Chains A and B, each alone.
Chain A
Amino acid sequence: NAGVTQTPKFQVLKTGQSMTLQCAQDMNHEYMSWYRQDPGMGLRLIHYSVGAGITDQGEVPNGYNVSRSTTEDFPLRLLSAAPSQTSVYFCASSWTSGDYNEQFFGPGTRLTVL
């Protein structure tokens, strides 16, 4: 199993550009989510999904869109990049039932917006 994969690993954008961060998992997890990590702030939830066709907003959703057409994939779209979106982005997945529901994190995408 590859686990949770993310592409690209690094990206530089200019203000106003759009792009899609890709996330895929091969563990058949129902739950997938996107977090951003900024220095001194831990990780903050952007959007999440509890299954194909179902998405919802997290703590910091503004400027981002998501969709979930398959169980495996959960792309994050930046509509019009801003310097405030410079961050490291992590995708995570887990089961929604069971005792532990441990979330598995992808390797991250480091995004710089100029």
Chain B
Amino acid sequence: ELKVEQNPLFLSMQEGKNYTIYCNYSTTSDRLYWYRQDPGKSLESLFVLLSNGAVKQEGRLMASLDTKARLSTLHITAAVHDLSATYFCALRGGAQKLVFGQGTRLTINP
């Protein structure tokens, strides 16, 4: 059974700092997704990672995948307030089914 664990679950950080969110999973999967959710809103796709060593960057966010360690990271560089949100990782199970982590609530303070 595919299980996905994120940590930390809550993260409060200052603007300008760097930090990393971790996503561990229990069994192999061929796709890993990162989503962002603002309060009261839907999920917005950030990254799709397919293969070992994949790295994708968009602005201050960078996601990477290590399939051997069953680990993905979402790195935030020089955080700004606009990045405050909840971030989810999710892996594809069979037939397009997504298994989500619990989410990381990120708060960035001035």
User: B25 at the A/B interface (Cβ < 8 Å)?
Assistant: no
Asked if B103 and A31 make an inter-chain contact with CB atoms under 8 angstroms apart, the answer reads no
Task: Provide the bound-state CA to CA distance between A54 and B88, in Å.
Answer: 28
CB distance from A52 to the nearest CB of B (A): 15
Interface size on B, residues (CB 8 A): 23
Asked if B101 and A33 make an inter-chain contact with CB atoms under 8 angstroms apart, the answer reads no
- The answer, among B33, B48, B103, for a CB contact under 8 Å with A42, is B103
Interface centre among A31, A33, A103 (most CB of B within 10 A): A103
Number of A-B contacts (CB under 8 A): 63
Contact A100-B96, Cβ < 8 Å, known A90-B43, A105-B43, A107-B42? no
User: B68 at the A/B interface (Cβ < 8 Å)?
Assistant: no
User: A108 at the A/B interface (Cβ < 8 Å)?
Assistant: yes
Contacting residues, chain B, for A41 (C-beta < 8 A):
102
* Closest residue of A by beta carbon distance from B95: A50
Q: Mark A79-114, 1 if CB is under 8 A from B, else 0.
A: 000000000001010101001111111111000000
